[in-house]
Amino acid sequence: MLAAAAAAVLLAGAASAQEQTINDYVRQLVMDSSDPAQEVLVGDIVIAEMGEFGVYEVEFRLDPDKQYYVYAACDDDCGDIDLVGYDADGDEVDSDAEDDPNPLLLVMPGDAGDSLRVELDMELCSADVCVFGIGLYEVVD
């Protein structure tokens, strides 16, 4: 009985470490998409998971006078994710529906006002769930 409890604790710890590792991996994929000499991460990279054909939404606060990129990336079980960005009125600002796991959006000054709602669509995931990350980067002069 004690051995079974100890094994359960070890398995839970291993699963947690594996989850942390995949989260770090996806976070690094997003960070590697940006140009650190010209772009600065605003806030944190959002890490989440969902299955194929799932939809995830995140809202970012913007300075309407600045230019931004939104980068996303997915784990190795993911073959395609798409992004669509909307302003506060629900009008499309930019989209990336390319067949790849690393989409990006460009938000020019004044395009979205002070708020950008981004919809991430999981188009191809070969596992039950895929881990993805999405981050907002401000372009610096």
Domains and CATH numbers, the chain: 2-139 (2.60.120.380)
Sheet holding 78-86, edge to edge: 55-61, 115-125, 78-86, 92-96
Mean pLDDT of 124-128: 96
| % the chain with pLDDT above 70 | 86
Instruction: Please name the residues in contact with 120: beta carbons below 8 A apart, sequence gap of 6 or more.
Output: 55, 56, 57, 58, 72, 81, 82, 83, 132, 134
pLDDT tens figures, 29-40 = 998 888 888 999
- Between CA 25 and CA 47 the distance in angstroms is 10
Write down the pTM of the prediction.
Answer: 0.83
What's the pLDDT band for 18 if we cut at 50, 70, 90? low
